[in-house]
Structure 1
Amino acid sequence: MKRVSVKPKMLVFSHICSPQYVTGAEKLLLFMVRELLPSFQCTLVVPNEGIIAANARKLGITVIVHHIPLVVPLYLALPHMQDEIAATERGSAWRDLVKLVDGERPNIIIANTCVHPLPAIVGKALGIPVIWSVMETLRDTEHTGMAASIIEQHSDYVIGISESTLAPLSTPGLRAKSTLILPSWDQEALSPNSWSMHRENRRRQLGIANHHRFVGYISSSIFEAKGLEHFMQMAVNTAVQYPHAMYLIVGNPVDAGYFNRCLDIARERGLMERFRWIRFEEQVESVYPAMDLLVVPSLTIEGFGMTALEGMVFGKAVVSYGSGGLSEIGRATGNEIYTVPTGDTAMLTGAVSSLLADDAALQAISARNAKAAHAVYGIGAYRERLRRFAEQLSVRGYMPLTLVRAAGSPSVYLYEDGMLRLFRSMKPLLNMGYHMEETRILPDAVIAAWPQGAPIGTALRRRRRRSRSGSSLGRRRRRKSGGTAKRRLRGGRQRSRRRTAAGGAGRRKRSRR
């Protein structure tokens, strides 16, 4: 009879699940999970319903909706990061997360991004191997070392998507745990045969003629750190010089005031007719083909820069700031000349102008980028890196909770039906067939997370002092005082009898006389 192998269970935690758009971190996480499906039974945990939850279900992945608090100060390397983690460990969300993980009994956990430490902390506390996927670069502050130590303490493996994400995690302990797995994509899922049709349809919808050069900006969510203002400054400066240039903004504004201020840059110059705006489009294959040139002016230290890679995959020239992982993409693909210093709008304008001025160069750079993207980040290389990583994973069976205690505490609890029941003494523990060697030591916060059930065993009896009228001391005193009175009474009677006897003897003597 042929044995059926059971794949180990992987519990994957996504920090967000937006119903409006998909961030780069969400996209990369789901892509990795999809590639791990042949080796693992994967379950995705999301804070709410949204796009990646729906996409995961299409892949046959079980989805659990369960809200878990984020800890943003860890990513920002702020001094109170430990205090915020401790505060969550005292709340009901922490207790619910412990119950979820123990109920699912996974063989391994993936915690995604630096703002999502709680799944890693719970997994490590319960003895489950933890993969911490680092999608962003920790902020550089005097407390970055503390943030890195938290990741080191609560992970068995760390995946970085760029050298930039792994740079702050360069301690000896973390280097041994860390693996660089560069992002990739599924070319067939992007339907390359439809790109020419999408280009024609989208440009017609937006009123863009064939002779126009369409310069694009894409961000799933638009806020100041994504550099839209810099894109607008570049655009109005090049628009005057190059009448055939048109500009596209794709994204969902997070800060309406900021977004309007950016548009005011074009309004004040009377150039708004040269701009088009599309809210987030999940089907990127319907947007990128319409462009001729992509600009990525991110002001933050990007963990990778998936937008820039996507632009190259679709065969577009890409001009970007050299923020974090964006500079790595530029070096790896030979695109350094179009990767300019972060925040330098003059150089950004110059790089875009050089491509708008030379159509042959624009076409050549676009074609070169497509080849370079496939050579460096293609799916073949990605799968080989992921295969080698998966082979080194130490996956063991889940160890159900039975006997637990806190470090440094003699109190032992039985985990039963989601509750902890205290053994009042060793006798009931041994009578139930358990041994102290089975006890698992868990952090105080994990012990405190569970509700307490009825204690096990008979409570030890203790003598108690009572009031004088009812206490054992009072009874002893009464017994003592009562005995003394009886002795006094007996003594008095004896003395009375002796005196009576003595008196009778005296009378007899006198009568004889």
Structure 2
Amino acid sequence: MKQTKPKMLLFSHICSPQYVTGAEKLLLFMIRELLPVYACTLVVPTEGVIAGHARKLGVPVIVQDIPLVVPLYLALPHLHEELAAKLREPAWGGLIRLLLREQPQVVLVNTCVHPLPAIAGKALGIPVVWSAMEAICETPHTAASAALIEAHADFVLGISETTLAPLRTPGLLPKTTLIPPSWHQAELQPEGWTRHRANRRRQFGFAEHERVVGYISSSIFEGKGLEHFMQMAVRTSAVHPHARYLIVGNPVDAPYFERCLGIAREAGVLDRFRWLRFEEQVATVYPAMDLLVVPSLMAEGFGMTALEGMACGKPVVVYGSGGLAEIGQATGNAAYVAPTGDYDGLAGRVSSLLADEALLQAAGAQNAREAQAVYGIAAYRERLRRFLDVLKLQAPRLPRTVKGSGPAIYLLERAGLLRPFRTMAAFAAVGYRPEDVRLVPDAFLAGLPLGEPIGDAPRTARRSRKHRRTRRGPRGRRGSKLRRGRRAGKARRGKPAGGRKKRRRAS
């Protein structure tokens, strides 16, 4: 059946084999919402969980490793040196050939560490949508990172004002669009919350009268604030005997994780903690909690865990780190946003909820209402629709002829082969005009193999002159050699070399 929807290639920077990260989860969500409008194809560096989920949606998956450029996100001084090195790797040419083979109408790049697909798409005249899932770090070189994105993105989608703040430059401002994430309520399985609560609390050994304070992070490392959660837990456990604590996540820094557990161990309350390393069906875990804490120390791009907790009707206490503060403000939860790093403030807010059952229940009910109103699927789809209406006006302009900083002009074949035109006459004979030539980075040309030149090989100037001299005979180069030889012979016989010439002048 002939494809009628325009094709979009979506590039995921990772494809975890064990679990879905926040950025992968949001990308997969967006793909589902794009499917009615675009024929989506997902490009991943390796096989993994998100690739499997995409295939279940009927989305084709291409596995192709594409180097990341982390200094772009970290705003480091050697950004351009590392980028130049990546553009010299064989994977760069493979990426260009992928785009030429797939011929997408749109390229979507996920996260700020994945610039190569955007650079290749821009060089080929394909509209580039860059999805900013995280805020570029604030350093003296942040402007250089923003300038690189500005040069290669036609549109920038931000999941929060935090992610867009470093990109609100005069050149990028018209390109930026805020589309906060959402969720599909059915995936949270509301019809099974009562059952899941009973099953999970039985699994963890929590009684119904006990109040469970939860922590969830797909990857547990220092920036996710588990240490602060433990400090909060030790403080609240001392005044709330009915409080219990549940940690869900995979430790990627084992010494750090052990140090965190040591806080509860030294306080003698480790028996009140439970730990679940990984749970793909996290929707079955939220119901077991009575209160969710998200103590991230890093400027979160958004804070999907906090939003999901609210959607499940749970009170949520957070640090005001990046997008977490935005969620708190938008949903009327500013009172439950503690200053980042203030675990005493975190503990005070959690304690106020544990001490008042009516307040605990009311806060959860309000969160369910406000989360749906501000971030629900209806609001998401309306924002996405407005953006797609603008995107549809952009058509790809894939070039047939290209050139770099040098004079050579190349025919760019779909197989990713560059065929140089021998002469401008050969270029014109094929029917192209100078205005048809696309100027591309030299790295673009260096990444592709050269094919057979187009046009007849021109004769060099030296060969043409020699040919003419040979035909002229004695007055050409051969004639000169002949005269020199005759003069030398006369000199050897005692006659002046220039005698003949002098006699001619005398006569």
TM-score under structure 2 length normalisation: 0.91
CA RMSD of aligned residues (A): 2.4
Aligned positions of 1:23-42 closer than 5 A? 23-42=21-40
Deviation at 1:5, TM superposition (A): 7.7
Q: Percent identity?
A: 62
Q: Which moved more, 1:162-171 or 1:481-490?
A: 481-490
Q: Distance in 1 between matches of 2:90 and 2:217?
A: 35
SS at match of 1:268: helix
Q: Distance in 1 between matches of 2:489 and 2:115?
A: 78
Deviation at 1:272, TM superposition (A): 1.7
Aligned positions of 1:119-138 closer than 5 A? 119-138=117-136
Alignment match, 2:190 = 192
Q: Any conservation in 2 of the 1:404–1:442 contact (CA below 8 Å)?
A: yes
Aligned positions of 1:178-327 closer than 5 A? 178-327=176-325
Alignment match, 1:509 = none
Alignment match, 1:372 = 370
Q: Any conservation in 2 of the 1:211–1:244 contact (CA below 8 Å)?
A: yes
Deviation at 1:485, TM superposition (A): 5.2
- Given candidates 382, 389, 393, the residue that maps to 2:380 is 382
Q: Any conservation in 1 of the 2:401–2:410 contact (CA below 8 Å)?
A: yes
Aligned positions of 1:56-205 closer than 5 A? 56-205=54-203
Q: Distance in 1 between matches of 2:71 and 2:388?
A: 30
**AA matched with 1:185:** W
Q: Distance in 1 between matches of 2:150 and 2:171?
A: 7
**Residues 434 and 214 of structure 1: is their aligned pair in 2 closer, same or farther, counting only changes over 3 Å?**
same
- Given candidates 478, 481, 486, the residue that maps to 1:483 is 486
Deviation at 1:298, TM superposition (A): 0.2
Structure 1 residue 452 corresponds to structure 2 residue 450: yes
Aligned positions of 1:401-416 closer than 5 A? 401-406=399-404, 408-416=405-413
**AA matched with 1:229:** E
- Given candidates 327, 349, 352, the residue that maps to 1:351 is 349
Q: Any conservation in 2 of the 1:321–1:340 contact (CA below 8 Å)?
A: yes
Deviation at 1:4, TM superposition (A): 7.8
Q: Deviations over 1:64-102 (max 9, x none)?
A: 111111111111111111211111111111111111111
Q: Any conservation in 2 of the 1:129–1:394 contact (CA below 8 Å)?
A: no
Deviation at 1:242, TM superposition (A): 1.4
**AA matched with 2:313:** G
SS at match of 1:172: coil
Q: How many aligned residue pairs are there?
A: 484
Q: Deviations over 1:23-79 (max 9, x none)?
A: 221111111111111111111111111111111111111111111111111111111
Q: Any conservation in 2 of the 1:77–1:146 contact (CA below 8 Å)?
A: yes
**Residues 462 and 209 of structure 1: is their aligned pair in 2 closer, same or farther, counting only changes over 3 Å?**
same
Q: Distance in 1 between matches of 2:431 and 2:329?
A: 63
**Residues 477 and 12 of structure 1: is their aligned pair in 2 closer, same or farther, counting only changes over 3 Å?**
same
Q: Deviations over 1:460-504 (max 9, x none)?
A: 43549x9xxxxx999667523332256679998xxxxxxxxxxxx
SS at match of 1:220: strand
Q: Distance in 2 between matches of 1:55 and 1:126?
A: 30
Q: Deviations over 1:156-185 (max 9, x none)?
A: 111111111111111122111111111111
> Which has the greater radius of gyration?
1
Deviation at 1:455, TM superposition (A): 3.0
Deviation at 1:459, TM superposition (A): 5.2
Deviation at 1:401, TM superposition (A): 4.3
> Structure 2 unaligned runs (5+)?
467-473, 496-507
Deviation at 1:238, TM superposition (A): 1.5
Q: Distance in 2 between matches of 1:5 and 1:91?
A: 34
**AA matched with 1:410:** P
Deviation at 1:424, TM superposition (A): 2.2
**AA matched with 2:104:** P
Q: Deviations over 1:212-264 (max 9, x none)?
A: 11110000101100000000111112122212111111111111111111111
SS at match of 2:267: coil
**Residues 109 and 489 of structure 1: is their aligned pair in 2 closer, same or farther, counting only changes over 3 Å?**
closer
> Structure 1 unaligned runs (5+)?
467-471, 493-513
Q: Distance in 1 between matches of 2:433 and 2:45?
A: 39
Q: Any conservation in 2 of the 1:129–1:395 contact (CA below 8 Å)?
A: no
Q: Which moved more, 1:17-26 or 1:454-463?
A: 454-463
Deviation at 1:435, TM superposition (A): 3.7
Deviation at 1:395, TM superposition (A): 4.8
- Given candidates 41, 47, 51, the residue that maps to 1:49 is 47
Q: Distance in 2 between matches of 1:400 and 1:140?
A: 36
**Residues 429 and 319 of structure 1: is their aligned pair in 2 closer, same or farther, counting only changes over 3 Å?**
same
Q: Deviations over 1:122-171 (max 9, x none)?
A: 11111111111111111111111111111111111111111111111111
Deviation at 1:398, TM superposition (A): 4.3
Q: Any conservation in 2 of the 1:225–1:300 contact (CA below 8 Å)?
A: yes
Q: Any conservation in 2 of the 1:108–1:395 contact (CA below 8 Å)?
A: no
**AA matched with 1:262:** C
SS at match of 2:391: coil
**Residues 28 and 479 of structure 1: is their aligned pair in 2 closer, same or farther, counting only changes over 3 Å?**
same
Q: Distance in 2 between matches of 1:69 and 1:443?
A: 18
Q: Distance in 2 between matches of 1:485 and 1:153?
A: 71
Q: Distance in 1 between matches of 2:140 and 2:492?
A: 89
Q: Distance in 1 between matches of 2:85 and 2:131?
A: 24
